[in-house]
Amino acid sequence: MKHKRLNRDGWGFQYYPYYQMRIDCESFHGLVCLIRFTDGEANYWETPKAGRIQVTGEDMTWLELIPDNTSRVITVKYFPDDTHDVERANYPESFYAKYRPSIWYVDIIEGLEYDEDGIAVFIDKYLDVIFTPEGDVKIDDRDELDQAHDTGELSDEQYEDALKECDLILNELCSDIAKTNAWCAEVREIVEKRLAAGEAITKCREVLQLEKQGESA
């Protein structure tokens, strides 16, 4: 199983502002991470109901939620504040608010660790659930999960746990997407208030090395 840092360096995001914090409140208990895209080209995926959906691009924000007592990383990929893609003709009117998600991507995980810089690292368990405001719901990479089980990389218990977590995600997050949207927006508002109050950027080794190079230049 691959280990993936929550600053999403595998996507080349390590030079964007990345925040990582613990939140404990009535609506959420767990780890929250946020990435702000300060530049970069827009990238898109195709979906049956929403059509072409934006996943990266300047001024977008990724909010990553790792609730306690779950085996998932919920990533909400938000449009720039107060906007949404005009191509999304069926985008729900009830989602017209400051924080407007383009898509949710939920990784099913084996566990959570931290690297030497304190960056959260999740152990990816292959299976993913993807859904949109317009109602697209897709279970992704089931073939990779099955292959990992067939080759012995995953035990029977690990395999069954991944499928159970997938069912929980479908029931808890995808059965009422408007409710999920409101919950995510509530958590993001807590995060934004902490950032406005001076929450520090969490720096990975690449950023620290880049800063050292700049100081020595």
Q: What is the pLDDT of residues 111-150, one digit of tens each?
A: 999 999 899 999 999 999 999 999 999 999 999 999 999 9
Residue 214 pLDDT: 66
Q: How far apart, in Å, are the Cα atoms of 29 and each of 26, 56, 209? A: 8, 27, 33
Pairing assessment for the beta strands 51-56 and 43-47 based on DSSP bridges: antiparallel
Higher pLDDT, 217 or 175: 175
d(CA 190, CA 195): 9
Token digits of residue 211: 């800063």
**Which residues make beta-bridge pairs with 215?**
none
Cα Rg of the chain, angstroms: 18
Supply the DSSP string of 155-178, one letter for each residue: -HHHHHHHHHHHHHHIIIIIS-HH
Q: What is the pLDDT of residues 83-96, one digit of tens each?
A: 888 889 999 988 87
Task: Give the count of beta carbons closer than 10 Å to the beta carbon of residue 170.
Answer: 15
- In degrees to the nearest 10, what's the CA dihedral of 131, 136, 137, 142? -100
**Percentage of the chain surpassing pLDDT 70?**
98
Residue 217 pLDDT: 57
* Encoded amino acid at 69, one letter: N
Nearest CA to 161 out of 104, 105, 106, 111 is that of 111
What's the pTM?
0.94
Query: What is the DSSP code (8-state) at residue 11?
Result: G
